[in-house]
Amino acid sequence: MGSLNGLLEFVAVVERGTFTGAARQMGVSVSHISRQIAELEGRLAAQLFVRTTRQMQLTEPGRRLFDTSQPLLQELMRAQDIVLDTQDVVEGRLRISLAGKFAEEQLVPLLTRFCTEHPLVQLELDVSARNVDLVAEGFHLAVRMGPLESSSSLVATRLLAVPLWVLASPALLRSLPPIRTPADLPAEWCLPLVQRPWDFVQGAQRASLQPAGRFASNSGAAMTQAALDGLGIVNVPAYYAHGLVAEGRLQRILPDWDGVEHSVFYLVLPASRHRSPPVRHVMAFLQANVVVPPC
């Protein structure tokens, strides 16, 4: 029997129209989609898409493959759901890996609530910055920020996207000229988080800034502390500073402009592992109850 690898990616590309859209739907990187499609074309010895700068068009072999495989994949998913529905008892052991401030403050309370509501579940949380090997270490689920790197052993489902807030201490803002648009941001006072540019959008308007402040870090907590100490203006995920803004210790800048970039969290699990009722229920529970801090 030939390998079925790449068929899910292939169908997702056809349905979404682009590699980028398919990657977003599946919670993986664009490079993973591209590699899977290339390997599928190699196995079939056929070109499936004609790639142009604007769109992906199916070739005749690609159209035949889609017309045949798409309904079969849907039937396989339905068959799996039928079996799972007959065994839908929420009991057993769950090992979940979490990391970071958002997970500890937002997800741990939800997971303890889930455990309370399902007394037959034995829940083990690994809360650390260590990037665990889900398959080798026997984890059922992980919450991770950012899309997966190319991997055929893991799948991901998007949980939520958290906006970035531009923040500074009230004392620093009193010492600077008024900031009404991104063009008013003084680059020398803007502190780089992992050296990324700051991109903004407001309707049809777009603006970009390369921060050039004298303090930089790859830690949102460190950047938030730098803002509290008056070292500069920061652009960090909202969950780092919601309470500090409410207390008046930090002040939001440009709240009418949206950041192009968000911190996106995914539920990640082994691709080959059967989704037991506890896994499916805890995923649905988190998706239904997790909330983005109000803007």
What is d(CA 77, CA 267) in angstroms, rounded to the nearest whole number? 19
Asked, for residue 1, whether it belongs to a domain, the answer is no
What is d(CA 65, CA 70) in angstroms, rounded to the nearest whole number? 8
- The number of C-alpha atoms within 13 Å of 77 and in the hemisphere containing its C-beta is 7
The CATH number of whichever domain residue 171 belongs to comes to 3.40.190.290
Whether residue 234 sits in one domain with residue 181: yes
What is d(CA 62, CA 68) in angstroms, rounded to the nearest whole number? 10
What is d(CA 295, CA 293) in angstroms, rounded to the nearest whole number? 6
Instruction: Reduce the DSSP state of residue 94 to 3 states and report it.
Output: strand
The CATH number of whichever domain residue 134 belongs to comes to 3.40.190.10
Q: Nearest-5° angle of CA 70, CA 6, CA 142?
A: 105
What is d(CA 115, CA 294) in angstroms, rounded to the nearest whole number? 26
| Final residue of a structural domain among 85, 115, 146 | 85
Both tokens assigned to 115: 């455990």
Whether residue 282 sits in one domain with residue 139: yes
Alpha helices, H only, 156-203: 170-175
pLDDT score, position 17 = 80
Query: pTM (2 decimals)?
Result: 0.65
Asked, for residue 294, whether it belongs to a domain, the answer is no
How big is the chain, counted in residues?
A: 295
Q: What domain range includes position 121?
A: 92-161+263-289
Both tokens assigned to 179: 């900031």
Asked, for residue 232, whether it belongs to a domain, the answer is yes
pLDDT score, position 179 = 97
Asked, for residue 139, whether it belongs to a domain, the answer is yes
C-beta separation of 55 from 61 below 8 A: no
Whether residue 80 sits in one domain with residue 53: yes
The CATH number of whichever domain residue 72 belongs to comes to 1.10.10.10
Whether residue 125 sits in one domain with residue 167: no
pLDDT tens string, the chain, 295 residues long: the values are 456 788 888 888 887 788 887 887 676 788 888 899 999 999 999 999 887 656 678 898 988 898 888 788 777 776 766 665 555 677 888 999 998 888 888 899 999 999 999 999 999 999 887 888 887 788 889 998 876 665 556 788 888 888 999 999 999 999 999 999 999 999 999 999 987 899 999 988 999 999 999 999 989 999 999 999 999 999 999 999 989 999 999 999 999 998 888 888 889 888 755 678 888 899 999 999 988 765 5
Nearest of 168, 145, 151, 189 to residue 250 by alpha carbon: 168
H helix or E strand, kind and range, residue 31: helix 30-44
Nearest of 89, 268, 253, 264 to residue 160 by alpha carbon: 264
Whether residue 32 sits in one domain with residue 176: no
| Final residue of a structural domain among 57, 85, 113 | 85
Query: Going by C-beta distance under 8 Å and a sequence separation of 6 or more, which residues neighbour residue 152?
Result: 5, 32, 36, 271
Whether residue 270 sits in one domain with residue 236: no
Whether residue 179 sits in one domain with residue 205: yes
What is d(CA 131, CA 146) in angstroms, rounded to the nearest whole number? 13
| Final residue of a structural domain among 26, 50, 85 | 85
Q: How many domains are there within the chain?
A: 3
Nearest of 283, 281, 256 to residue 269 by alpha carbon: 283
Q: Tell the residue number behind the tokens 């997966």, with chain if given.
A: 148
Both tokens assigned to 226: 């730098």
What is d(CA 152, CA 191) in angstroms, rounded to the nearest whole number? 37
Whether residue 30 sits in one domain with residue 169: no
Whether residue 278 sits in one domain with residue 155: yes
Burial of 177 (0-12, 13-18, 19+ CB in 10 A): exposed
Asked, for residue 2, whether it belongs to a domain, the answer is no
Whether residue 33 sits in one domain with residue 152: no
pLDDT score, position 189 = 97
Whether residue 167 sits in one domain with residue 106: no
C-beta separation of 207 from 136 below 8 A: no
Asked, for residue 167, whether it belongs to a domain, the answer is yes
pLDDT score, position 112 = 95
Q: Provide the β-strand partners of residue 198.
A: 209
Whether residue 218 sits in one domain with residue 108: no
